Structure 1
Amino acid sequence: MKQSKVQKGLFLLMLALIIIPILFPFVWMLMSSFKTQVDIISWPPKFIFTPVMQNYNRVFFEQNFLRYMKNSVIVSVVSVMLSLVLGLPAAYSIARYKQQKLSMFILIARLMPGISFLMPWYIVFSRLRLMDSYVALILSHMLICLPLVVWVMAPYFDSVPRELEEAAMVDGLTQQRAFTKILLPLSGPGVVTATTLSFIFSWNNFMFSQVLSQQKTRTLPIAVYNFLSYVEVDWGAVMAAAVTIMAPAILLTMFFQKYVVKGLTMGAVKG
């Protein structure tokens, strides 16, 4: 019994050592978003203070963050949906027909730094007069989402027994219908995982929006620049903006976490 308590205590200690460094920046950011500028830069740091809402007032009323949020939602949702439409069949094809060259090409595209695509994208969209448009941002964000969808879903499709499709086709379904009626429902947790990760990467993307967007289509990560100047940095507003940007991604992850974990731990043909 004594040894069990010691082991439990050591486990809790190790868990705290892992969790505290991860959570501390988020807690500090959340606290700072409710502090005045004087409290934020004070030393030693103030952990007991009077919360204020002026930082969020500047974010939502002075800088019109709702417009930037609308732009981020449109770009992220559409780019993820298009990536699913193209990526799911591609992942199925790679898994079923062992298209290693195609999978390697997609992996290379995923591993290449995004900045290497900026100049070609800028030239193409400038010539097509698509700068500062949703089309430019959506296509550029698909460079992030599409390879991610393929590489998450290809192993998932590969784990589904081929006999399920063969049985469905014996019953009269075409291969395309078997894919939509049999494989996709069985791969639901994988689709949720790919969708969640793709959305988070698209939502937090800074580089493409910095170059390809202007005032009309500026997304949330770029809007943080409104609180930076050569004279000073409005740290309270920056922290409030950061909380606003991170909240949807955190809530989405927390909401779908149980479905992802459940799907990854149960067998695809379990029933």
Structure 2
Amino acid sequence: MSSLTVTKNVAATDAAPQMRKRSKTGRGYRIFRVLALVFVIVMFIAPLVWMVLASLKTNVDIYDSSKTFLFDPTLENYGTVFGRANYLGYIFNSFWIGFASTALSLLLGVPAAYAMSRFTMHKSAVVVLLARVIPGVSLLVPWYFVFSQLKMVGGFGVLILSHMFVALPLIVYIMMSFFDSLPIELEEAAQVDGLTPIGAFLRITLPLSTPGIATAGILSFIFSWNNFMFALVLSGSKTKTLPVAIFDFVAYASIDWGGLMAAAVVITVPIMVISLFMQKYVVSGLTAGATKG
């Protein structure tokens, strides 16, 4: 047997334990990844499942642990929500405030983000980022004082403006990253063909930025739909939104858990449906700037 053959056999013998060790390590990592994924899914799904099941139970069944999954379902809670609680009006209020604040924020935020991106307005971007991280709750008292002096508290206008304070920086922040990922050569080529800078933005850049606009709009609408604190302080009896209306099921001495969970389902389902149908836009918009450079 030649020395070369012996060397190969020795190398193969030494490599075999390493390959088995790597295989065990890879198998252990895959098992850990699956377990971690299952844990995250269960932690996310379990409250939603409990909420839906509780919305189909009476208050007595909700407190009975033996009827967690086996019980006689009832739609009485949903009848309470849509019958006595005027939730159709609250749904309209939430949709209108969310749509108006999102549309106005997009109208102002998209051109602002484009200007900051193309003209490298770093100081303005820092201001936008600061507005993004400032807690909106800290501004509720000044807002209430100013808007009460203007006699706007209780109307749709004050709610739309307050939601825009958070939605506008969010939209600008997302769209700046998206515009940074688009090559400026496309706009320069369009201007060579005779378009003005505004025309290049409207006819070239804006259509290409549809995924980013959809992402920013969806996230802005979700924030407005779920917002509680602004509506609690600034809304009136005719402009009450769904998150605030849930408090109708919380009394001083008791809580109507069945009605509360049914109302929570009513709030959650529209957002989940929108998120599922618009998922591809959200993912593409959020990852658009990740591959820049």
How far apart, CA to CA, are the structure 2 residues paired with 1:22 and 1:192? 25
RMSD: 2.1
How far apart, CA to CA, are the structure 2 residues paired with 1:7 and 1:111? 36
Match of 1:146 in 2: 168
Q: Structure 2 unaligned segments of length 5 or more: list them.
A: 1-22
**Could you tell me which amino acid in structure 2 is paired with residue 186 of structure 1?**
L
What does 1:134-213 correspond to in 2, within 5 Å? 134-213=156-235
Match of 1:52 in 2: 74
Deviation digits for residues 152-187 of structure 1 (CA, Å, limit 9, x no counterpart) = 010110111111111111111111111111111111
40-49 or 185-194, which deviates more: 40-49
How far apart, CA to CA, are the structure 1 residues paired with 2:288 and 2:228? 36
**Could you tell me which amino acid in structure 1 is paired with residue 249 of structure 2?**
F
User: Displaced runs of 4+ in structure 1, greater than 4 A?
Assistant: 1-11, 262-267
Match of 1:256 in 2: 278
Shift of 1:5: 8.6
Give the share of equivalent positions with the same residue, in percent. Answer: 49
What does 1:238-253 correspond to in 2, within 5 Å? 238-253=260-275
How far apart, CA to CA, are the structure 1 residues paired with 2:173 and 2:141? 26
How far apart, CA to CA, are the structure 2 residues paired with 1:262 and 1:149? 15
Alignment partner for residue 226 of structure 1, among 244, 248, 265? 248
Deviation digits for residues 113-171 of structure 1 (CA, Å, limit 9, x no counterpart) = 11121122112211211111110000000011101100101011011111111111111
How far apart, CA to CA, are the structure 2 residues paired with 1:265 and 1:148? 15
**Could you tell me which amino acid in structure 2 is paired with residue 239 of structure 1?**
M
Alignment partner of 1:35: what SS?
A: coil
How far apart, CA to CA, are the structure 2 residues paired with 1:204 and 1:256? 18
Alignment partner of 1:229: what SS?
A: coil
Alignment partner of 2:65: what SS?
A: coil
Task: Please say which structure displays the higher CA radius of gyration.
Answer: 2
Alignment partner of 2:186: what SS?
A: helix
Alignment partner of 1:47: what SS?
A: coil
TM-score after normalising by structure 1? 0.93
Match of 2:135 in 1: 113
Q: Structure 1 unaligned segments of length 5 or more: list them.
A: none
**Could you tell me which amino acid in structure 2 is paired with residue 53 of structure 1?**
L
**Could you tell me which amino acid in structure 1 is paired with residue 124 of structure 2?**
L
TM-score after normalising by structure 2? 0.86
Count of matched residue positions in the alignment of Structure 1 and Structure 2: 268
